[in-house]
Structure formats: C-alpha cells, structure tokens
Amino acid sequence: MFKKLQLTLLAALSLFMFSPVVAQKKLGNETDAQKQKRMEWWTDARFGMFIHWGLYSGAARHEWVKHNEHLTDAQYQKYFDQFNPDLFDPAKWARQAKAAGMKYAVLTAKHHEGFCLFDSKYTDYKATNTKAKRDLVREYVNAFRAQGMKIGFYYSLLDWHHPDYTMDDVHPLMQVNHSEEDYKRLNKGRDMAKYRQYMRNQITELLTNYGKIDILWLDWSWDKGAKHGKGENDWGSVELLKLVRKLQPGIIVNNRLGLDEYTDGGDFATPEQVGPAELAKYKGKTFETCQTFSGSWGYYRDENTWKTHRQLLDLLITSVSNGGNLILNVGPTARGEFDSRATRALDSLAHWTHANGPSIYNCTYTPDAFQTPEGTKLTYNKTSGRLYVQVYQYPKNGKLTLPGYNGKIKYAQFVNDHSEVIYKPLNANDLELTLPVKKPDYEIPVIELVPEGVK
Ligand code: GLC
C-alpha cells in the first residue's frame, strides 16, 4: 500500500519537477550573461559525484526506510545508536571521485531522516553525538577541496525527525495513520514557522562555517496536485533562496524549492533517474541528471539492479551530447566506505574518462552542420571547436561513414591515444573512416575530428 502511495507521489513529483512551467517572475537582477559566467565551471565540469550517507546506511535498505517501514523515532533510534563509521576516509572518497573523472561532489549534510552529518548548534541529532564523535561534513569538505574538487551540500527540506515539522503524505507517521483526523491529531503542537527558522539557521551554518560552497541541492517540493504536499510556502522558499544567495553569492542552486514561476528560482533542472531518450528532451536547457548506480540512493545491501558500465557511460555521454551534466550517486556503507560494487563501477569509469575525458569536459551538443553518424553520439568542445564521435556500435568491418562530412574536416584521431584514423571520401558528400578491426580497449571508443578552419 505505502509502496503504491510512494509510486504515485513519485509520479506526481516527476510531473511537477519536469513539466515545463512557464516561469515569468524574477527574484534577483542577474542577467543571462552573468548567470552563464557564474555557472561556467559547472557547465564545463559535466560530471559530479552525489553522496547519500546517513543513518539509513546502517539499515542498508533504502534512504526512505523510515517512510517505507513507517518507523517511529523510537524505532529508528537504533541506527543512531549504532552509527560508527570506523572506515570513513574522505580523502579516499575524494581520490576515487577524482580518478573516476568527477569534478565536483554533493554530500547529504541532512537527508529526509533529519540526521545531520555536520555539527549544528540547533540539534542534538548529529554526527558529533554518535560514535563518530566528529563533524563529518567538515572532513568531507577538507578532503574534497584538497583534491581540487568543487564542494556541494544536499540539504533535505523534508525532515522526518524535527518535532515542529508537520505531517504530509510522505511523513513516516502518516503511512499507517492517514485519515484527516490522524493528520490533525499528529499535527498538534507542530509549528512549521519554527521549522522554517531551523532550516534557515542550519543553512546559515552550512554556508558560513565551511568556506566557499559551490553548490547547494535543496530537496524537494510536491505541493501541486498532492493532498498534503509541501512547497514554496511551507519552506519559505523565496526567503530561503535569498538568504543562500546573500551568504554565498557565487553558489549554484538546484530547482527543487518549488519556485518554478520564477525564472531564477533555481539554476538548473534536475531530471532524476531518467533514461537517455528522456535526456534528449533537455537539449539546450541547463540541466543535471541525477542517477544512482542501483535502485537506491542510500546504501542498499540487497539491491542488485546495478547499472552496467555501458549504461553509466551512456548516461554521461548522452548528458553531455545534450548540453547537460551527470551527477552519479554513491551510497557509502555505514562503516563509511564505498562498497566493492561502487568501487568497481568507479574504477571502470576512471579507465574510460582518463582516456576519453577530452570528449566530456568543456563539451556540449554539436552544431547543426554536423549529422550524427549511425551507431554513434556526438559531443563537441565549444572552446577548441573539435568534434567527438562516440562509437556506440563499433563497425565489424572497421568502416564508419560520416554522412555529409566531405570537405568539413581536416584530421581524425582516436582520443585515447591520439592515433590517426585514416579516412577517404565515399562520394561527394560523405567520408568513410577506417577503424582498426580490433576495437580499442574502451566500451565506447571516441574519435576526435578536427573540422576545417579549426586548429
Ligand atoms: C528524491 C528522493 C531522495 C533523493 C533525491 C535525489 O527526491 O526523495 O531520496 O535524495 O531524490 O535526487
């Protein structure tokens, strides 16, 4: 039953988050050019790491476990009591992320369960009071910064632990008791105004105590069409976003505050767990697709639907070839490690990005003058003017036709080793590349084309 409800809610959520709402109002006075400049590093970075880590990592069966199993605070307490991340080594996380080719990271400072990985003055429900005994956010910030990565925080607008946070259709306590009477009864004594202040206080802590923060991910709003949803007015989103921008003027903020009617109510769209075909619909928009390795964000021991290396590459390439970013999630274990499945996936990404990175970073969709050859996807470096043919279907006989490319390019090489790829005109319009019959050692090899007129 609750599963069904969750599915319905998620469907409503995706409709709301991904449907084109015509934004008209404006909160600030930043021009398009200024926004582009502010977001330049992010647009060029293309690939980031999401990290969902919290008490739910101990339950190891979805970060929504408290909702899914409608657990009370008392029932959930054991995960707090047992939390002891003895293998937590954020320097290792940062090295793994960097090696995989990721340029930024976003860590759940607080997820829906309400537990804070940081040392907040405003709650006792925090890492410093567990066996970890320290501010895990600070260690993450220092470690990732030391690797030259940009730093992001995820902060959940929902809070299933705060005593003033009111009931709604996804609150764990509303999963068994969901009549209107229950709703009223459970809401007695709760005061969202106090909770809003709590959020402002914590966000102020996060944005003042840890130096420059590059990204803030505020999650999420579902007031439209839901019986008891929450959105802009519940969070005090306008005020919250103004506060964020005041505290960290350069920061990049996602679009889940429920401010879709404002052109500047969020910096980027957040298509979640969508397939490559869906991503194509975002071409030309500023977007970051967030994706898991498996079916859950938080560590899920028994979940085995892990995406393959090819699927992960496809998401990365398809995002870039439509002008967007990919943020790929790792759910560390309760001991504080990336498990072997995540590590394997990251290692294979490292192998690919190390060799083929130039076709990802600073890249976007290709100018219309170039057609996509069959069995490939294209990316394009807007600074160098070079074009990248991502060879999804490696031709058995080594012959790859570039339709309409005759006279348009002057050199071709593999990206991974800069070895020349010979080509010849096939007719007045088309070129034919001759690739080695043995496919290079990459799931999706990449050919770099230098167009005429480009250095
Ligand atoms: C959804 C889920 C949440 C996850 C997020 C990532 O909003 O509620 O568990 O953190 O998506 O995009």
* Residue 88 alpha carbon to ligand 1 centre in Å: 23
pLDDT band at 1 (very low <50, low <70, confident <90, very high): very low
Which residue minimizes the CA distance to atom 10 of ligand 1? 297
* Domain boundaries of the chain, sorted by first residue: 8-358, 366-451
40 SS3 class = helix
Atom of ligand 1 nearest to the CA of 111: 10
Size of the chain in residues: 455
* Residue 12 alpha carbon to ligand 1 centre in Å: 14
Q: Do the Cβ atoms of 255 and 269 come closer than 8 Å?
A: yes
Select from 293, 291, 309 the least CA-distant residue to 442: 309
- In DSSP notation, 121-140 reads TT-S-BGGGSTT-S-HHHHH
Select from 373, 368, 447 the least CA-distant residue to 403: 373
CATH number of 366-451: 2.60.40.1180
In this prediction, residue 22 carries a pLDDT of 67
Q: What Cα–Cα distance (Å) separates residue 385 from each residue in 85, 379, 381, 421? A: 47, 10, 5, 18
* Residue 24 alpha carbon to ligand 1 centre in Å: 27
Question: Residue 353 and residue 356: Cα distance in Å, rounded?
Answer: 5
Phi/psi of residue 202, nearest 5 degrees = -70, -40
**Three-class HEC string of 313-377:** HHHHHHHHHCCCEEEEEECCCCCCCCCHHHHHHHHHHHHHHHHHHHHCCCEECCCCCCCCCCCEE
In this prediction, residue 17 carries a pLDDT of 52
Residue 449 CA, distance from chain mean position: 30
Question: Residue 140 and residue 52: Cα distance in Å, rounded?
Answer: 13
Q: Do the Cβ atoms of 331 and 52 come closer than 8 Å?
A: yes
Residue 221 CA, distance from chain mean position: 17
Atom of ligand 1 nearest to the CA of 13: 7
Buried b (16+ CB within 10 A) or exposed e, 316-350: bbbbbbbbbbbbbbbbbbbebbbbeebeebbebbb
* Residue 210 alpha carbon to ligand 1 centre in Å: 24
In this prediction, residue 315 carries a pLDDT of 98
Report field, pTM of the whole predicted structure over 0.75: yes
| CATH (one of 3.50.50.60, 3.40.50.720, 3.40.140.10, 3.20.20.80) for 8-358 | 3.20.20.80
Atom of ligand 1 nearest to the CA of 63: 9
Checking if the pLDDT of 21 tops 80, the result is: no
| 51, 112, 170, 220, best to mutate for ligand 1 pocket (most atoms within 8 Å of CB) | 220
Other Cβ atoms less than 10 A from the Cβ of 179: the count is: 9
* Residue 216 alpha carbon to ligand 1 centre in Å: 14
Checking if the pLDDT of 392 tops 90, the result is: yes
Question: Residue 260 and residue 22: Cα distance in Å, rounded?
Answer: 8
230 SS3 class = coil
Pocket of ligand 1 (CB under 6 A): 52, 63-64, 219-220, 272, 290, 297
In this prediction, residue 12 carries a pLDDT of 47
What are the structure tokens assigned to 371, written together? Answer: 């057609």
Question: Residue 420 and residue 67: Cα distance in Å, rounded?
Answer: 56
101: left (phi over 0), alpha (psi -120 to 50) or beta: left
Say whether 366-451 and 8-358 share the same fold.
no
pLDDT band at 16 (very low <50, low <70, confident <90, very high): very low
* Residue 37 alpha carbon to ligand 1 centre in Å: 28
In this prediction, residue 178 carries a pLDDT of 82
Q: What type of residue is 154?
A: Y
In this prediction, residue 443 carries a pLDDT of 98
Select from 372, 363, 296 the least CA-distant residue to 103: 363
Which residue minimizes the CA distance to atom 4 of ligand 1? 297
Checking if the pLDDT of 330 tops 50, the result is: yes
> How confident is the model over 157-190, as pLDDT tens digits?
999 999 999 999 999 999 887 899 999 999 999 9
| 51, 272, 300, best to mutate for ligand 1 pocket (most atoms within 8 Å of CB) | 272
Atom of ligand 1 nearest to the CA of 272: 12
> How confident is the model over 335-386, as pLDDT tens digits?
999 999 999 999 999 999 999 999 999 999 999 999 999 999 999 999 999 9
Atom of ligand 1 nearest to the CA of 50: 6
| 297, 300, 328, best to mutate for ligand 1 pocket (most atoms within 8 Å of CB) | 297
> How confident is the model over 222-264, as pLDDT tens digits?
998 899 999 999 999 999 999 999 999 999 999 999 999 999 9
Q: What is the mean pLDDT of residues 423-427?
A: 98
